[in-house]
Structure 1
Amino acid sequence: MKLLLWPALLALSLPGLSLGTSTQDHAQAVLKFGPRVTGSAGNEQARSYLEAQFRALGYQTRRESFTYPRFDDLGSDVRAGEQLLTGNALQDSAGGEVTAPVIQVPGVGTPADFVRVDVRGKVAVVSRGQIPFIEKTRAALAAGAVGLVIVNNSAGDFRGTLGQRVEVPVLGVSPTVGAAMKDGQPVTLRVRVSQSNVQAVNLIAFKAGVGQPDVLFGAHLDSVPGAPGANDNLSGTLAVLDVARRAVGTPLSARSFFLLFDGEEDGLLGSRAFVKDSPEVVKGLKAMFNLDMVGVNVMPLSVSGEAPLVEAARRAGVEASEGTPGSSDQVPFRQAGVPTLFFHRGLDANYHQPGDTLLDPALVEQTAEAAFRIANEVLNTAPLR
């Protein structure tokens, strides 16, 4: 796998890399571990490396473990004639192998769409979009399909979740794969899945004696299978580390937690576990800042959240807007009543793809600077404990 940073900023090669202090050095060091799927060796190697960086800055660290059942795709595909077409099993799909003719279902897979064709005993192919995956699957089952293939409505393949267990194999594929499946053509749909318990680990950095922080800076460390996760979300992780660096020797360091969540890609599980297991800490927070995908400038930095923090951001000279877009680790905190800000630069073209090897250290550091300034504004206007 070729590891890249923004071309103009790439200066170091991996062999013999010494421990550095720049965002660029840290990115190179972590990316060499590969995808950081929760429970994997790469995930643990990255966490250990980052833990050492927090400690080198003078912070103490604590690991908080939790377990959860995880659905894994062990390699799923469709064989059409001599072609072996790959895809991703949707979470909660049944495993299995079926051989049957293809039927292309018009529309997006509503019950009305399935009435227009005979899918009994066939592998139904529908387009993604407009209605949830589970509704497409229920309609396919009700119509008698023995398998379902959902075709992405944009370039590339995708990963998705049904939300409840179904008794039919369901595969998500790219438009190219969908177009290769012809009406009436016999295919073999093979969905290979497993469910097992995964141990995840949240990493918390804090100054000695800090048990009740006023501010929590968070980012998820894990990535999806096959994706090195440079932008999603090594960029946010390194921004949190950079905020911690900036905070050294300031009052902010003694009033903050810096937290790297695990299990975000499996459903915000690290942040949910922290909120559930640390209710007193959560109740005392004045702000939670979540940094996710801030290393590629798809759009200018978006800072959004509840009104009091938006006002603090504006006083700090950072453009911000009210609202709570996105489904990331700020959500469990917001649901627990904590004011939150979400830092984000949009979904880049390599989102959840093997090509997620790019991040711009300058953008990461700009995000960290914005978060640092806003947090200081929050503390300057909040009563001391």
Structure 2
Amino acid sequence: MKLLLWPALLALTLPGLSLGVSTQDHAQAVLKFGPRVAGSAGNEQARSYLEAQFRALGYQTRRETFAYPRFDDLGSDVRVGEQLLTGNALQNSGGGEVTAPVVRVPGVGTPADFARVDVRGRVAVVERGQIPFIEKTRAALAAGAVGVVIVNNSAGDFRGTLGERVDVPVLGVSPTVGAALKDGQPVTLRVRVREGNVQAVNLIAFKAGVDKPDVLFGAHLDSAPGAPGANDNLSGSLAVLDLARRAANTPLSARSYFLLFDGEEDGLLGSRAFVKDNPDMVKGLKGMMNLDMVGVNVSSLSIRGEAPLVEAAQRAGVSASVDTASSSDQVPFRQAGVPTLFFNRGLDANYHQPGDTLLDPALVEQAAEAAFKIANEVLKMAPLK
């Protein structure tokens, strides 16, 4: 882990800073940077912009860096005649390009299914489901296939992992693309992948002198590949910024940390790194509140978590329920014994898609207001033992 403390004068030297800038203005500014995949230029540009906004509110900031290996799909597809059909390389797939006839494999891709067809020197097309991707792929390789296409068993694309490295290209496609791959038809399967380490960064905002916060507000700033990430999760990140604004001149600011996590889309890696690297701070927290996808009203705002914070919410007049089923950046904190709350409005239609370009500032601010009210009740709670 590497700590970088940025000087307070930074906020005075960066352009475009204003305490009167609206949530909508912030959203438009950040979305211009494009998708915020961890390790990308857009990710860093968004973080630097929001860091400046925290500092304009009177907060200090610190960056905590961490690294992890990642498999990146650089653009993979299958060509049928003049038609180019896109898909997603499965993690651990080999890269490369092969041209060969298609063989549609019956069943779900067990060895017995492959025994019913001849896939030697061909591209095996098999349906998703029932058995792991790696078992389908092993069976294809054992039967002599030079490439594998796995067709989703529900609408749309999918991303997946094999769990172990293989030497042939393996592509996941939608049912629509799968239907275009006819038995015996020549295709060119192209899988372009890159494996390497990602340098990721968590951003922390806090008031000078605060090293033992009682409350931590968090959201992940990174987005999925190809997705501008307006709702997932610029909405949560801007809610954390709005919380910092609301708290700036109140006692809450001197007892809180405001975090924008990196690497959530790759497996909650930013929050896991923070918990691992700050055990004493985490141990002393009365509560952690995580905001993820709060800018599109798929359903009313859902606030769920452990009993101590649910009870604090009820005392604040905010509806909340006991539930620990959700997977987001609150999970590593909960696993470390910290009471958590998860703020979410449901899975919208543009989740992880290029169409994730819109958020409703009013909904973002409503989520921030609810968290602010709850946090002030959490401050009254006795310290954790």
**Normalized against structure 1, the TM-score is what?**
0.89
Distance in 2, Cα, partners of 1:82 & 1:215: 57
Distance in 2, Cα, partners of 1:139 & 1:286: 51
| One-letter amino acid matched to 1:68 | Y
* Aligned 1:139-218 pairs, distance under 5 A: 139-218=139-218
* Alignment-derived partner of residue 286 in structure 2: 286
Distance in 2, Cα, partners of 1:131 & 1:214: 46
| One-letter amino acid matched to 2:274 | F
Distance in 2, Cα, partners of 1:373 & 1:117: 63
| One-letter amino acid matched to 2:162 | L
Shift of 1:292: 0.8
| Residues 221 and 261 in structure 2, CA contact (< 8 A), matched pair in contact too | yes
* Alignment-derived partner of residue 262 in structure 2: 262
Distance in 1, Cα, partners of 2:314 & 2:128: 39
Distance in 2, Cα, partners of 1:341 & 1:129: 34
Confirm or deny that 1:376 pairs with 2:349. no
| Residues 204 and 260 in structure 1, CA contact (< 8 A), matched pair in contact too | yes
- The secondary structure found in structure 2 opposite 1:195 is strand
Shift of 1:145: 3.1
Confirm or deny that 1:69 pairs with 2:106. no
Aligned residue pair count? 370
* Alignment-derived partner of residue 4 in structure 1: none
Deviates more, 1:126-135 or 1:56-65: 126-135
Shift of 1:201: 0.9
| One-letter amino acid matched to 1:191 | V
| Residues 284 and 384 in structure 2, CA contact (< 8 A), matched pair in contact too | no
Deviates more, 1:306-315 or 1:71-80: 306-315
Show structure 2 runs of 5+ residues with no match.
1-14
Shift of 1:194: 1.0
* Alignment-derived partner of residue 25 in structure 2: 25
* Alignment-derived partner of residue 221 in structure 1: 221
| One-letter amino acid matched to 1:233 | N
Counterparts in 2 of 1:311 and 1:94: CA distance versus 1, 3 Å: same
Shift of 1:258: 0.4
| Residues 17 and 52 in structure 2, CA contact (< 8 A), matched pair in contact too | no
Distance in 1, Cα, partners of 2:231 & 2:196: 28
Shift of 1:98: 2.2
Shift of 1:79: 1.4
Shift of 1:290: 1.1
Alpha-carbon deviations, 1:30-57, whole Å to 9, x = none? 1111111112221111111101111111
Distance in 2, Cα, partners of 1:157 & 1:129: 14
Show structure 1 runs of 5+ residues with no match.
1-15
The share of aligned pairs that are identical, in percent, is: 86
- The secondary structure found in structure 1 opposite 2:265 is helix
| One-letter amino acid matched to 1:279 | P
- The secondary structure found in structure 2 opposite 1:266 is coil
* Alignment-derived partner of residue 11 in structure 2: none
Over the aligned positions, Cα root-mean-square deviation in angstroms equals 2.2
* Alignment-derived partner of residue 99 in structure 2: 99
| Residues 223 and 265 in structure 2, CA contact (< 8 A), matched pair in contact too | yes
| Residues 212 and 284 in structure 1, CA contact (< 8 A), matched pair in contact too | yes
* Alignment-derived partner of residue 122 in structure 2: 122
| One-letter amino acid matched to 1:382 | A
Distance in 2, Cα, partners of 1:134 & 1:21: 50
Shift of 1:146: 2.6
- The secondary structure found in structure 2 opposite 1:37 is coil
Shift of 1:121: 3.5
| Residues 17 and 29 in structure 1, CA contact (< 8 A), matched pair in contact too | no
Alpha-carbon deviations, 1:242-265, whole Å to 9, x = none? 111111222211111100011111
* Alignment-derived partner of residue 52 in structure 1: 52
